[in-house]
Amino acid sequence: MAFSFYNTLGRSKQSFSPLQEKKVGFYGCGPTVYNYAHIGNIRAYVHHDILVRSLRRAGYDVNHVMNITDVGHLSDDSDAGEDKMVKTAEERGKSVLEIADYYTKAFFNDTDKMNITRPTIVCKATDHIKEMISLIERIEKNGFTYLTGGNLYFDISKFPSYGDLALLKLEDLQKSEQTEFARIDQDENKRNAGDFVLWFTKSKFENQALVWDSPWGKGYPGWHIECSAMSIKYLGEQFDIHCGGIDHIPIHHTNEIAQSEAATGITPWVKYWLHNEFLVLDKGKMSKSKGGFLTLQSLIDEGFDPLDYRYFLLSGHYRRQLQFSFESLQGAKNSRKSLVEKVRGLLEKTSRGGAEAQRAQGEDKGEESGKELNISSYIEGFDKAIEDDLNTPRALAELWGLLKDVQGCNHSTTAKALEAIYDMDSVLGLGLKETVNNKNTGTEENEELKQEIEELIKKRIEAKKAKDFSAADNIRQNLKDRGIILEDGVNGTTWRFEQP
Ligand code: AMP
Ligand code: ZN
């Protein structure tokens, strides 16, 4: 397959050619684990997943690395505000690591439900402080830093191509009043408004929970350095693809490039930068830190299967803004249901048709009834759509076209079509093979399970009221054995799936 991707670096669609034949090094920015992922974040990870699945299906050996941010991400991406992890830990009366652990598990619970393939390597920022310090030392040695007010800063004026990714002008970034930095508290220590912190010491927060010794004093890293340090560790000093949402273009990814290239001197650090557009609500943007966001669980609570949401996301191209509404999600649910029914119809026909064809051959009639179809042309259409900057809406249309045209075809064509559909689904990730082999679309199953758990929670409350604690414990233990955890809180008992 000949992929072409829209590269933010250069703002053009470019044919994809990896640094090493048939191998792809891919880094996707992962979650900051101070809250659940919202459905907008999940859009970003579905995009990474479509990319990885497409490349693997085309025969590439993809090394997919994703970070977990558990330190250093402030409420504003450019060093202003509070530390997101510390703030949540204080609010909840927990340690930062407890918060990180809980939301990391919740994150993978969501991505598993969305049928998102797990990255090859998942790396936590707090496990890579040593690598961050050595990378900062290289940046410092090469003359790109200054130490003031207790923090070590990256001096963007020393890096002439700073801002190339985001098409920002270095001169503008040096003056705070002309940039987006003007809207946030300016750090008096910065020489240029766009400078950013590589290492904080006590000067920023007195109450920072996690601190490490460093050549610049006891402190903790800035947010951006973790992605440079971990991607270089696992993928080398130059690699193929880097992804994230469009919000990362002007600050986070711009800073990642500056740090990495300043340390290694190799340009370009990353060959292809792919950015997904935002998922927006009717009411506007969704934000993890400002609340008011929808989680995957909130869609499940409304009776949707996570794969309905996946179908909804695939129906929009990743570079187009997508507006979320429950009406559109209902539309996706209906389409997925009909897709599953049609594919199941093909499966039933092939099992029936197989027996009929065998009988026909036994009776020496020789020929099967029904028309034939050139299935490979549909696969080609699908491949073209995916090769063309991962055009999932067009790919879905190819799949539907095949489903429509295969009606009334003979057994062998139907069997080939079914195989082709499963093959297409190895990219789309709608779990079609598993779903059609089950009795339902998954939604009904979720509903039944939910009702069963809620019944058991009621029984457990009754058992406790009746002081039958062993019965109550048995209910909890039986559910735990099935991977379902009950949690008693001030607002009653809630449940969640056990984390992997
Ligand atoms: P965060 O956990 O905030 O660092 O975000 C995780 C990923 O989600 C990043 O790649 C963000 O760019 C991306 N992202 C954040 N909000 C949205 C949104 N509303 N729609 C799509 N992607 C988003
Ligand atoms: Zn990153």
Ligand 1 pocket by Cβ (under 6 Å): 29, 31-32, 40-41, 43-44, 244-245, 247-248, 276, 278-279, 286, 288
Q: How far is the CA of 290 from the centre of ligand 2 (A)?
A: 21
When computed from its CA atoms, the radius of gyration of the chain, rounded to whole angstroms, is: 26
Q: What is the mean pLDDT of residues 488-492?
A: 80
Q: What is the 3-state secondary structure (H, E, C) of the chain?
A: CCCEEEECCCCEEEECCCCECCEEEEEECCCECCCCCCHHHHHHHHHHHHHHHHHHHCCCEEEEEEEEECCCCECCCCCCCCEHHHHHHHHHCCCHHHHHHHHHHHHHHHHHHCCCCCCCEEEEHHHHHHHHHHHHHHHHHCCCEEEECCEEEECHHHCCCCCCCCCCCHHHHHCHHHCHHHHCCCCCCCCCCCCEEEEEECCCCCCCCCCECCCCCCEEECCHHHHHHHHHHHHCCCEEEEEEEHHHHHHHHHHHHHHHHHHHCCCCCEEEEEEECCEEECCECCECCCECCCCHHHHHHCCCCHHHHHHHHHCCCCCCCEEECHHHHHHHHHHHHHHHHHHHHHHHHHHHHHHHHHHHHHCCCCCCCCECCCHHHHHHHHHHHHHECCCHHHHHHHHHHHHHHCCCECHHHHHHHHHHHHHHHHHHCCCHHHHHHCCCCCHHHHHHHHHHHHHHHHHHHHHHHCCCHHHHHHHHHHHHHCCEEEEEECCEEEEEECCC
Ligand nearest to the CA of 288: 1
Mean pLDDT of the chain: 89
Ligand nearest to the CA of 84: 1
Q: How far is the CA of 204 from the centre of ligand 1 (A)?
A: 26
Instruction: Tell me the pLDDT tens digit for each residue of 148-191.
Output: 988 999 999 999 999 999 998 877 777 655 455 544 556 888 99
**pLDDT at 44 (0 to 100):** 98
Nearest residue CA, atom 19 of ligand 1?
A: 40
Band (pLDDT 50/70/90 cuts) for residue 359 is low
Q: Is the pLDDT of residue 485 over 90?
A: no
Q: How far is the CA of 80 from the centre of ligand 1 (A)?
A: 19
- Joined together, the tokens standing for residue 382 give 């699908």
**pLDDT at 119 (0 to 100):** 97
Least confident of 280-289, 335-344, 404-413, 478-487: 280-289
Instruction: Tell me the pLDDT tens digit for each residue of 304-354.
Output: 999 999 999 999 999 999 999 999 999 999 999 999 999 999 999 888 765
**Closest approach atom of ligand 1 to CA 288:** 3
CA distance 266 to 239: 11
Residue among 247, 281, 296, 320 to mutate when testing ligand 1 (max atoms within 8 A of CB): 247
Nearest residue CA, atom 14 of ligand 1?
A: 41
pTM of the model: 0.85
**pLDDT at 198 (0 to 100):** 96
Ligand nearest to the CA of 38: 1
Instruction: Tell me the pLDDT tens digit for each residue of 442-468.
Output: 555 566 777 888 899 999 999 999 999
Q: How far is the CA of 29 from the centre of ligand 2 (A)?
A: 4
